[in-house]
Chain A
């Protein structure tokens, strides 16, 4: 194998720093004195690691690194998600409560929850700017907002412009949803009795309608 001067110099520098640790030196000295007195003290003998151990160690490290990158990626993606996205649940149910655990004083908790309310409002604004807010998105946003409001004092909620904005948007959405639902309500009166049933009852004397 051919090597370059840089490789040689680097290896030489690193190798020159190789040394015994303080612990190894102490153990070695103790062993030298012990052996010279005829006392057997195999202090520095180490168990020979199996070659499989190195391989396992390497694989474990790669596994942990992959897991770390995956968690980091998921965390970043969920932090950027909006209501209706797949990772939105991770954001509002895992990430934000996890951050909240590190808010130790009640003031900082309230401050953090207020900032979350602003975030919720920002998310809805972003969705509106994109064009439309789906029913799923509005439900998720409403649920997340409700969870935050439950943690706040009434004084923080009443007359809070952000809460009002959130409620406005959600009430509008509820109204829209109700309007859509109304469109699908059957036009027939549920008390209308089909003519065939009345005729059948008259003929057989059986209470077909169960009245």
Chain B
């Protein structure tokens, strides 16, 4: 009886996380892979791993950064399997769409955002993506990336200035 109650509480907690972060993870995967099908698969795999961790008794102190880190690792794994390019590139650069499963509109949006963000230096790309595409706070970004809030703020300001310069040039 007690075990059943605990299981239900765990499920509730997991479903809360899923409800809050599944779209964020899905967009990150869509942005990185450019494929709707792959984004769905990677999102599902991310949450499968989260659920297995929780079910095994692991306590998630910073669930958001934990989920985000799993998703990033899965994306890197996906490209390790599919493209013979360096891990540095995989972690830092945008990727081209790989299949015909995604609508031209989605590809155009992803391409526009990538064109803007990829013109920045690698230190700024992820911070700018999380801030301006995902709308996360400095604290959340710092937690996800495992860096100080101060560093995130500096990168956001500099990255934004660089983006502005880019748009003024064009």
Using a CB–CB distance below 8 Å, which chain A residues touch chain B? 1-5, 7-8, 10-12, 14-16, 18-20, 24-25, 28-29, 31-33, 35-36, 44-46, 48-51, 53-54
Please give the distance in Å from B137's CB to the nearest CB on chain A.
15
Using a CB–CB distance below 8 Å, which chain B residues touch chain A? 15, 18-19, 22-23, 26-27, 30-31, 37, 40-41, 43-44, 47-48, 51-52, 55, 99-101, 103-104, 106, 108-113, 115-116, 132-135, 163-164, 167, 169-170
A15 contacts across to B, CB distance below 8 A = 27, 31, 109-110, 113, 133
The answer to whether A20 and B110 have CB atoms under 8 Å apart is: no
Given contacts A3-B112, A3-B115, A28-B47, contact A20 B22 (CB under 8 A): yes
The answer to whether B26 and A14 have CB atoms under 8 Å apart is: no
Instruction: Give bound CA distance, A129 to B103, whole Å.
Output: 57
Residue of B nearest to A58 (CB): B104
B103 contacts across to A, CB distance below 8 A = 54
B18 contacts across to A, CB distance below 8 A = 25, 28-29, 32
Given contacts A28-B47, A32-B44, contact A18 B113 (CB under 8 A): no
Instruction: Give bound CA distance, A5 to B115, whole Å.
Output: 11
With beta carbons under 8 angstroms apart, the residue of A3, A20, A46, A53 that contacts B26 is: A20
Please give the distance in Å from B8's CB to the nearest CB on chain A.
12
The answer to whether A18 and B30 have CB atoms under 8 Å apart is: yes
A4 contacts across to B, CB distance below 8 A = 167, 170
The answer to whether B167 and A8 have CB atoms under 8 Å apart is: yes
Instruction: Give bound CA distance, A19 to B20, whole Å.
Output: 11
With beta carbons under 8 angstroms apart, the residue of B37, B100, B134 that contacts A16 is: B134
Given contacts A16-B135, A18-B106, A49-B101, contact A36 B55 (CB under 8 A): yes
The answer to whether A28 and B170 have CB atoms under 8 Å apart is: no
B167 contacts across to A, CB distance below 8 A = 3-5, 8
Instruction: Give bound CA distance, A20 to B46, whole Å.
Output: 14
Chain B CB within 10 A, most for which of A25, A48, A49, A51: A25
The answer to whether A48 and B112 have CB atoms under 8 Å apart is: no
Please give the distance in Å from A200's CB to the nearest CB on chain B.
89
Given contacts A14-B109, A19-B23, A28-B40, contact A36 B48 (CB under 8 A): yes
The answer to whether A11 and B108 have CB atoms under 8 Å apart is: yes
Please give the distance in Å from B51's CB to the nearest CB on chain A.
5
Instruction: Give bound CA distance, A14 to B103, whole Å.
Output: 14
Please give the distance in Å from B145's CB to the nearest CB on chain A.
19
B164 contacts across to A, CB distance below 8 A = 5
The answer to whether B26 and A18 have CB atoms under 8 Å apart is: yes
Residue of B nearest to A1 (CB): B115
The answer to whether A29 and B15 have CB atoms under 8 Å apart is: yes
Instruction: Give bound CA distance, A54 to B102, whole Å.
Output: 10
Please give the distance in Å from B31's CB to the nearest CB on chain A.
7
Instruction: Give bound CA distance, A100 to B65, whole Å.
Output: 66
A45 contacts across to B, CB distance below 8 A = 41
